[in-house]
Amino acid sequence: MIYWEIFLAFFIANLLGYGGGPAIIPLLQNEVVNQYGWMTLREFGDVLAIANALPGPIATKMAGFIGYEAGGVLGAVLALAATILPSAIAVIILFKFVDLFKGSPRVKLMTKSVQPIIAVLLAVMAYQFFLTAFEHSGIFHLLFLAAASYLTLNKLKVHPSIVIVCALFYGGIFLS
């Protein structure tokens, strides 16, 4: 039963996750944390941070790790397959209709109308992570990491992956 749940959770999230990586994260969080309880919100945040620090698509890295945690090697394989299948099927089917709808104002309007929904989902997820970070690490560490991240990203123009890795080390040293 766990294998079916793994496949279904990742398939649904990736089927509904219009736009790829960032749009899928709140949907995955709902399935993994709220629906099935395979991880806590804090653990999910840790997996997300590590997935962001590594090269490649976020969704597949998260699927592999979460699938492995929930169901071993077979769980990882099923989660990865469920992550890839919706896009692969859509590309195969929709490729035939690309030329018909390429310049359609309705398609452009649909694309524009979905963007605010994705932004709200990401904002809600960021707020939940903020609350979790505040509860577990305290205001000092939270404000220090936020300020240090802001300065290094915006003022010093350091690559985001370096900032994430440094924050991971900081958390490992001072918050464990």
* CB neighbour burial string for 76-104, b if at least 16 within 10 angstroms, e if fewer: bbbbbbbbbebeeeeeeeeeeeeeeeeee
pLDDT at 19: 59
176 residues of the chain, pLDDT tens digit each? 899 999 999 998 888 876 566 778 888 999 999 999 999 998 998 898 888 878 888 888 999 999 999 999 999 999 999 998 988 888 788 777 777 777 788 878 887 888 888 888 888 888 888 888 788 888 898 889 989 999 999 999 999 989 988 988 898 888 76
3-class secondary-structure state, position 40: coil
- C-alpha span between 23 and 26 (Å, rounded): 7
Statement: the pTM of the whole predicted model exceeds 0.85: no
84-133 pLDDT, tens digit per residue, is 898 888 878 877 777 777 778 887 888 788 888 888 888 888 888 888 87
pLDDT at 51: 86
Q: How many CB atoms lie within 10 A of CB 56?
A: 9
